[in-house]
Chains A and B, each alone.
Chain A
Amino acid sequence: MKGRLVQHLFSCFDFSGRRRLEAMRPRLYRLAYAWCHDASLADDLAQETLAKALGRSEQLRDEATLEGWLFAILNNCWRDHLRARREYVDVEELDELVFAHDESPERLYAKRQSTLRVRDAIAALPLAQRQVITLVDIEECSYAQVAQVLDVPVGTVMSRLSRARQALKKDLARDSLHDGRAHERPQLRRVK
């Protein structure tokens, strides 16, 4: 008990450790944003992740794994948030969760712009696929790292990535057919 307290105090005063964690904030924010597409929630999730990381820095054995360790904490914070917000208890179900945005004339116009269009397509992916593709493409994680962060086998990472890219390709190809016309999507739905 005393040992833990000392360790905790030590970690609180470990300024270089703090700086290293703080330096990761923009990346955590970007990844969280890619998962939830909500700036203030992404900021909260990044903050919560860093706070938890500070408190648990004794868990981090190897400096080289800092990124993966933080991404795994972020994943837990995000799941906790979803569980608290909805009545979901089954984590398997969380993986199928799909988000979508409100449609407004402004958004519809902006959708023609590639960036928002791609974000919408990613937002429409089931959560599990969205997490894998953003970790691989935005954070350039290896498959093994992703497997560790999300606590799933590498084979699952590969099949989710494959499905995510298929779906994105299909979704984005629709653009050229319909010239950016919005497709109807409910606010928040579960897909079985």
Chain B
Amino acid sequence: MNGPGMNGTASDEFLNAFLDGELTADESEHALRLLDADSEFRGKACEVRGLKDRVKGAYADLPPMPARGGTSLPRPGWWQALAASVLLVVGVSCGWLAHDQSGKKAATERLAGLPEGYQPVTLAGKVDPNKIVLHLDNNDPTRLTAVLDLAEQLLARRGEKGHVEIVVNSYGLNLLRQETSPYRERIGQMASRHRNLDFVACGQSVARLNKEGVLVDLLPQVHVVRSAISEILDRMQQGWVYVKV
């Protein structure tokens, strides 16, 4: 994948691959950094993201299939609701363009409980410093510990109004796998203690491991999303603060 050149402008292909979840972990990380640093990249990312939603949404509500023996059709009401929700997403993502630099600064300064050395990143115009997505993509033992510690500190400072989501992909998946996690018990305890803490695994990373013949058995507290990157972007779009651990 051709990354951004020396002048800092990323190619359309790079941007597309980022939003389609086709980049490697390193490339994604680079793209996420660009999102924060490069307003042109951010604007384009918003545009493509919105476009993807619109393309998908445009075919959510189709003319019904002509009746054919035995084929049951979804109820039209359901499709309409889906189409409406997709349009809502489009509306939200357009707000993305109206990125407020000053609002963002204030929000990240208010990010209580975040120790030195971590860089909070935000996207949406309206940022909620109580909602934080923590991203882990490697298997470094100190980071596995750090992500759990961080989640607990952040939640402790926020109480009921806080919400933390730990999103893992690539080697970070080891934290949430039955056979590799050094913290099975601790994660179970944390999950039962905090209703506002979620453990999320990247479906693409799981699929990749399965393809390599590794059977992935995740902890019962984990839910799987299509891709970590889209999950993170969705959250950021909704005003969450992103922290790479």
> By the criterion CB–CB under 8 Å, are A118 and B16 in contact?
no
A165 to B48, CA, bound (A): 7
Instruction: Identify which of A115, A133, A168 contacts B83 (C-beta below 8 A).
Output: A115
B205 to chain A, nearest CB (A): 13
Q: What residues on A are CB-neighbors of B149 within 8 Å?
A: none
Contact residue among A26, A39, A46, A133 (Cβ-Cβ distance under 8 Å from B55): A133
How far does the Cβ of B74 sit from chain A's closest Cβ, in whole Å? 7
B244 contacts partner chain A, Cβ-Cβ < 8 Å: no
Find out whether the CB atom of A39 lies under 8 angstroms from the CB atom of B65.
Answer: yes
* A43: Cβ under 8 A from any B Cβ: yes
| B194 at the A interface (CB under 8 A) | no
- Fill in one digit per residue for A28-43: 1 if any B CB lies within 8 Å of its CB, else 0: 0110011000011011
- B62 contacts the other chain (Cβ, under 8 Å)? yes
Q: How far apart sit A82 and B13, CA to CA, in the bound complex (Å)?
A: 30
What number of B residues sit within 8 Å (CB to CB) of A?
A: 32
Residue B118 at the chain A interface, CB threshold 8 Å: no
B62 cross-chain contacts in A, Cβ below 8 A = 29-30, 33, 39
CB-CB under 8 A from A137, the residues of chain B are 52, 55-56
In the complex, per-residue mask of B44-65: 1 if CB is within 8 Å of any chain A CB, else 0: 0001100110111111011111
**Contact of A34 with B59 at beta-carbon distance under 8 Å, contacts A43-B65, A161-B16 already known:** yes
- Evaluate whether A115 and B65 lie within 8 angstroms (CB atoms) in the complex, with A25-B71, A165-B51 already known: no
Chain B residue numbers with a CB within 8 Å of A162 are 12-13, 16
Encode B159-200 as 1/0 by CB contact (under 8 A) with A.
000000000000000000000000000000000000000000
A158 and B17: CB pair below 8 A? Answer: yes
Q: Return chain B residues, CB-CB under 8 Å to A161.
A: 16, 20
A97-122 CB mask vs B (1 if < 8 Å, else 0) is 00000000000000000111011001
CB atoms of A166 and B12 under 8 A apart: yes
- The distance in angstroms between the C-alpha atoms of A142 and B21, with both chains bound, is 8
Check if A136 is an interface residue, CB within 8 A of chain B.
Answer: yes
- Interface of A, secondary structure class, is helix
- A22, A133, A137, A161: which has the most chain B beta carbons within 10 Å? A137
**Given A118-B58, A142-B22, A143-B22: 20 more A-B contacts, CB < 8 Å:** A22-B71, A26-B65, A39-B62, A42-B65, A115-B61, A115-B83, A118-B55, A122-B55, A136-B20, A137-B52, A137-B56, A138-B56, A142-B21, A158-B17, A161-B16, A165-B16, A168-B51, A168-B55, A169-B47, A172-B54
- Report 19 cross-chain contacts, Cβ distance below 8 Å, ordered by A residue: A26-B65, A26-B73, A30-B59, A30-B62, A33-B62, A39-B66, A40-B66, A43-B68, A47-B68, A118-B54, A122-B55, A137-B52, A137-B55, A158-B16, A162-B12, A162-B16, A168-B51, A168-B55, A169-B47
Which residues of A come within 8 Å of B, CB atoms? Answer: 22, 25-26, 29-30, 33-34, 39-40, 42-43, 46-47, 114-116, 118-119, 122, 133-134, 136-138, 140, 142-143, 158-159, 161-162, 165-166, 168-169, 172
